[in-house]
Amino acid sequence: MSMTTTGAGTRKLTIARAMAEATAQEMRNDPRVFVMGEDVGPLGGVFGNTRGLYDEFGAERVRDTPISETAFIGAAVGAASDGMRPIVELMFVDFFGVCMDAIYNLMAKNIYFSGGKVKVPMVLMTSTGGGYSDAGQHSQCLYGTFAHLPGMKVVAPSNAYDAKGLMTAAIRDDNPVVFMYHKSLQGMGWLGTEKGATVPVPEESYALEIGKATVVREGHDVTLVSLAAGVHHCLRAAQALEDEGFSAEVVDLRSLVPLDRETIRASVAKTGRLIVVDEDYHSYGVSGEIIASVVEHDHACLKAAPRRVAYPDIPIPFAPTMEQWALPNADKIVDAFHQMMLS
Amino acid sequence: MNHTPTTEQRLWMYRHMVLSRYLEERIESLYMEGKTPVFNMAKGPIPGEMHLSNGQEPCAVGVCVHLTPEDIVTATHRPHHIAVAKGVDLDAMVAEIFGKATGLAGGRGGHMHLFDAKVNFSCSGIIGEGLGPAVGAALSRKLQGKPGVAVAFMGEGAANQGAFHEALNLAAVWQLPVVFVIEDNAWGISVAKQASTAVPRNDRRASAYGMPGVHVADNDVEAIFSAAGDAIARAREGQGPTLIEIETARLAGHFMGDGEDYRPKGEKEGLKQRDPIPRYRRQLLDAELLDDISDTDLVEQAHARIEAAIRFAQDSEFLPPEAALEMVFV
Ligand SMILES: Cc1ncc(C[n+]2csc(CCOP(=O)(O)OP(=O)(O)O)c2C)c(N)n1
């Protein structure tokens, strides 16, 4: 693939390009790596994250599949256990319903059932998120659903730098990794694009450790914890709060499994306030887990009850008026902070 | 048996193809509002994905002309032609596509999730997932001793989904009144049928489930009419399910905004030359079932009906945003 370089360390990539670049670099180094999924071949993926791979590596290693998710995700488990390192794509995470058995009963459990003797080095990449009126079967995040089930690592980057490093790490990992990329961050013009996700990305290969959160903005009045698209809402809210004279710290989780509880706790210990922002459903999910992780460790560090800005417990509506109303955004985060300061 | 449509049925099929096509032409232009010069799916009066069915109208009318409102239809992410032919309330359907309060679901579903219980129509955006519900509806009729057949429409891509094989077997082992209709438009997004399907024709898969498999070539309205007539009659008589595969044509992209670079050069132009609507018009004119005047009349009436539905949708309000919280349960 050709990349435009604007100078060392300043070349910006979209998440889609960063994922494709990490994949290409690993495929060049390791003949065991191959890609399977719907429209990942000549089309380069509906969300652009396999663009260029088919031209470089051909149809044998970049395989368009039938619409048979149970079969090809199950096949990835089999190939991974037999010494290959497959990367498979579930086009929208919402489609997990037709193939979850291959994911959570096979991919996520075979290592354990074999007492660690069988490895499952595979990456399941899948798109998440809404905001563009694709309704309730094409807009979910389902972070909590995947993170809840033991046996698979789960990552969800908020920018292209992290996406490349996490993708490389995921491919090299001997465990199954679910790589969840948010559609609004992909840099596909037709989905509208969060500018903050397109950042400088080094050309050389690098891996980021899976399971490390990062503080993307420092502050001392409140900790805003989120992942993927939510991080950008938090950064906008932090900016708005700064204008009001408050300083918000923003923690980008990057990984849900393993979850970096230390970084979250350290931040909340400093700020004394916690707001979790999650585009996934409110109940039984990531936001509850983050809050519990802080509170069960030390509730005395909190100056106020923690809050969450999450998706209401409803299927995602089509009408833009309803969908936009239901989605988390910077205003809701600022509001949550105000409420917190009032109580 | 070779079924021949009556004049009334022929004109009904033609009129519903014209209705569906014009609806989609109007949706196409309205969808693009707010999406130029930069195509952003979230913008304009109709945001989100838009899968047009133009070219596939014969499949819808050739099957649905045999159905009554009591019969059940499940459709796909590409549902408009089938909804029109099944008699879904046009005003409420178009309003749903616009996300308005007067829409079938008040705007909660949108174009891929159209439900009209009055005519037993539903659709879903998950490939292969319409088959199980069709089988279940047929079972329900059997258990309740009520008449009715269920028709599950799908694309040829769905025939590689597990649910396809499970549903066919289930319908056959219980001898349920179901007809499975595959609209083979040769493409599943960018993946060609021959690259994804091990057999050239899916109707041959019927034999694996002990049911008749019928193939209809060339997007031919009356051949579809005949094949569907047979299958639906068999279902009504308690003789069990049938699988039909129809060679049809997707005249548009997979969804609006699709660059279609994967199509071989000239394919689309060739398909457009065999556009089934002008072809059928010619056939009806030649058979003297239609003349230029009655054709103009029919077309104008169809256009007026669609314009009225679009006006209805445009003039309707959105529900208040908080209505998003309602209807999770009844
Ligand atoms: C289970 C599932 N997998 C993948 C998709 C994404 N997808 C939407 S339409 C489509 C192609 C469908 O092809 P086909 O069934 O032939 O119908 P057509 O689009 O040609 O009408 C795909 C892969 C989906 N909606 N559901």
Q: Please report, for chain A, the start and end positions of each structural domain, with discontinuous segments joined by +.
A: 12-200, 214-342
Q: Which of residues 260-289 of B touch A (CB under 8 A)?
A: 261-262
Among residues A69, A89, A279, A289, the one annotated as catalytic is A69
C-alpha A332/C-alpha A237 separation (Å) is 9
C-alpha A217/C-alpha A215 separation (Å) is 6
Contact A76, A210 (CB under 8 A): no
Contact B58, B246 (CB under 8 A): yes
Helix, strand, coil percent content, chain A, rounded in steps of 5: 40, 20, 40
Q: In the numeric block, which tokens belong to residue B113? A: 């999730």
Average pLDDT over residues B187-211: 98
Same fold, A12-200 and A214-342: yes
Helical spans, DSSP H, in A244-329: 261-271, 286-295, 320-326
How high is the pLDDT of residue B22? 98
Q: In whole angstroms, how far apart are CA A324 and each of A337, B233, B241, B316?
A: 20, 47, 44, 19
Whole-structure pTM value? 0.97
Q: Indicate if ligand 1 lies below 6 Å from the C-beta of B127.
A: yes
Ramachandran sector of residue A224 (left: φ over 0; alpha: ψ -120 to 50; beta: rest): beta
C-alpha A336/C-alpha B3 separation (Å) is 67
Q: In the numeric block, which tokens belong to residue B210? A: 């002990």
Q: What is the pLDDT along chain A (343 residues), one digit of tens a residue?
A: 334 444 457 899 999 999 999 999 999 999 999 999 999 999 999 999 999 999 999 999 999 999 999 999 999 999 999 999 999 999 999 999 999 999 999 999 999 999 999 999 999 999 999 999 999 999 999 999 999 999 999 999 999 999 999 999 999 999 999 999 999 999 988 888 899 999 999 999 999 999 999 999 999 999 999 999 999 999 999 999 999 999 999 999 999 999 999 999 999 999 999 999 999 999 999 999 999 999 999 999 999 999 999 999 999 999 999 999 999 999 999 999 999 999 8
Average pLDDT over residues B23-41: 96
Q: Which of A232, A230, A338 is nearest to A285 (CA)?
A: A230
Contact B137, B72 (CB under 8 A): yes
Q: In the numeric block, which tokens belong to residue A63? A: 């395989």
**CB-CB under 8 Å, A66 with B325:** no
Q: Model confidence over B50-74: pLDDT tens digits?
A: 999 999 999 999 999 999 999 999 9
How many CA within 13 A on the CB side of residue A184? 23
What architecture does CATH give domain A12-200?
3-Layer(aba) Sandwich (3.40)
Q: Model confidence over B260-308: pLDDT tens digits?
A: 999 999 999 999 999 999 999 999 999 999 999 999 999 999 999 999 9
Q: Indicate if ligand 1 lies below 6 Å from the C-beta of A135.
A: no
Question: How does strand A62-64 pair with strand A33-37?
Answer: parallel
Contact A309, A332 (CB under 8 A): yes
How high is the pLDDT of residue A193? 85
- Minimal-distance CA residue of chain B relative to A65: B196
Handedness of CA A81, A82, A84, A89 (dihedral sign): negative
Contact A85, A33 (CB under 8 A): yes
Q: Which of residues 5-44 of B touch A (CB under 8 A)?
A: 38-43
Is A262 in the active site?
no
* Fold of the domain built from segment(s) A214-342: Rossmann fold (3.40.50)
Contact A154, A143 (CB under 8 A): yes
**Strand, coil or helix: A327:** coil
Model confidence at B1, pLDDT cuts 50, 70, 90, reads low
- Minimal-distance CA residue of chain B relative to A97: B126
C-alpha A157/C-alpha A181 separation (Å) is 7
Contact A97, A42 (CB under 8 A): no
B237: exposed, middle or buried (Cβ count in 10 Å: 0-12, 13-18, 19+)? exposed
Helical spans, DSSP H, in B33-130: 57-64, 80-86, 90-97
**CB-CB under 8 Å, B126 with A97:** yes
What architecture does CATH give domain B7-316?
3-Layer(aba) Sandwich (3.40)
Q: Which of B29, B109, B43, B258 is nearest to A193 (CA)?
A: B43
Work out the mean pLDDT of chain B and round it to a whole number: 98
How high is the pLDDT of residue A8? 52
- Nearest atom, ligand 1, residue B184 CA: 16
Domain ranges of chain B: 7-316
Q: What is the ipTM of this complex?
A: 0.96
Q: Which of B79, B156, B160 is nearest to B124 (CA)?
A: B79
